[in-house]
Amino acid sequence: FREGSPTAPPAPPGGAGAALATFITANAASQTIVAAGPLVVGALGAGAAERSVFFETFILFRAPLTVAYSLIARVLPPFTRLAESDGRRTLSRWSVRLGAVGAILGTAAFIVGRWIGPSLVALFLGEEYRPSPGLAAYAAAGVVIATTALFAQQMLIALRATAALAVAWLCGLLAAGATVAIASGNASLRVGLGFLAGEVVALTLIVLAVVSAARPR
């Protein structure tokens, strides 16, 4: 469900190929977490109605991601200037704060999504697309965390640590798959929980990677 792709990383001389390869890997993994949901729901045996509800719910709740893609190109240049000057500690502090904000907003989104999410989907898309409270909560919280991760990863790109970025998103993808495999409930709830778990793991590892990459050399 993620539209577009993050800004390409600045690469050191002679390292453009490796930086691009790891960046593509990271982007592919992050795209899979958010885009493969309907396919996984279908593979788990869900019927057409359940697949439609899942798809339409995430279409509506992905609005923050769509808006974020118009903003990320503006935050990478100042992050890069900080990374190339004496502002690496500033990036480290900002990444921790951004992670904390993501956790707070994600928790709030989970509560609000569970409370009024189904009604919002029914209002905008029709009663036949009303999701369960659990699915709405997973979608709302996951999208907020994904949006936060999108901004946090620009710090990692500015620090030219695309290998760490790839590791973070691959671990997030593995966490999402493992959650779907072991979770209980219907297909939609399992995949929705997997989406949220994958984004949480990825954001956590991105923040930790920024802190590590921003340490004085």
Greater confidence (131 vs 75) lies with 131
The amino acid that residue 182 corresponds to is I
pLDDT for residue 137 is more than 50: yes
DSSP state of 4: S
Q: Does residue 1 contact residue 62 with C-beta atoms inside 8 Å?
A: yes
For the chain, what percent of residues have pLDDT higher than 90? Answer: 69
Greater confidence (121 vs 74) lies with 121
Range name among 45-49, 60-64, 127-131, 170-174 with the lowest pLDDT average: 60-64
Tens of pLDDT, residues 32-67 = 998 899 999 999 999 999 999 999 999 899 887 878
Residue with tokens 């409270």: 133
Q: Angle CA(46)–CA(49)–CA(51) in degrees, nearest 5?
A: 50
Q: Does residue 202 contact residue 30 with C-beta atoms inside 8 Å?
A: yes
Strand intervals (E) in 36-85: none
Q: Does residue 195 contact residue 139 with C-beta atoms inside 8 Å?
A: yes
The amino acid that residue 51 corresponds to is R
Provide the pLDDT for residue 170. 97
**What confidence tier does 5 reach under pLDDT thresholds 50, 70, 90?**
very low
| Cβ neighbours of 63 (radius 10 Å) | 11
pLDDT for residue 15 is more than 90: no
Residue with tokens 């509800």: 53
Written as six digits, the tokens of 196 are 């949220």
Query: pTM of the prediction?
Result: 0.89
